[in-house]
């Protein structure tokens, strides 16, 4: 039996460390599964982020456009 691929959960931290604001997106679509997805990462509570990791682990990754890009 194949183990599930947790695209969002396994890759989100690398996006955050690079300075992006990643969000889970429904596979095959370009939409996040939750409301208020566009708020900056600085406004996302630790609890909400943990819930995303748990509830949306296998979803794809989108990046909030308009987020500040890191230097370099």
Question: Is the pLDDT score of 1 beyond 80?
Answer: no
Predicted TM-score of the model (pTM): 0.81
Q: Is 60 left (phi over 0), alpha (psi -120 to 50) or beta?
A: beta
- φ and ψ at 40, to 5 degrees? -60, 155
- Supply the mean pLDDT for the chain: 87
Which tens digits make up the pLDDT trace of 19-48?
Answer: 889 999 999 898 999 998 998 888 999 999
């Amino acid at each position: 039996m194949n183990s599930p691929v947790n695209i969002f959960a396994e890759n989100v931290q690398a996006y955050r460390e690079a300075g992006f604001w990643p969000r889970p997106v429904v596979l095959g679509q370009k939409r996040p599964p939750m409301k208020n997805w566009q708020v900056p990462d600085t406004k996302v509570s630790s609890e909400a982020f943990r819930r995303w990791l748990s509830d949306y682990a296998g979803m794809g990754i989108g990046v909030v456009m308009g987020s500040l890009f890191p230097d370099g």
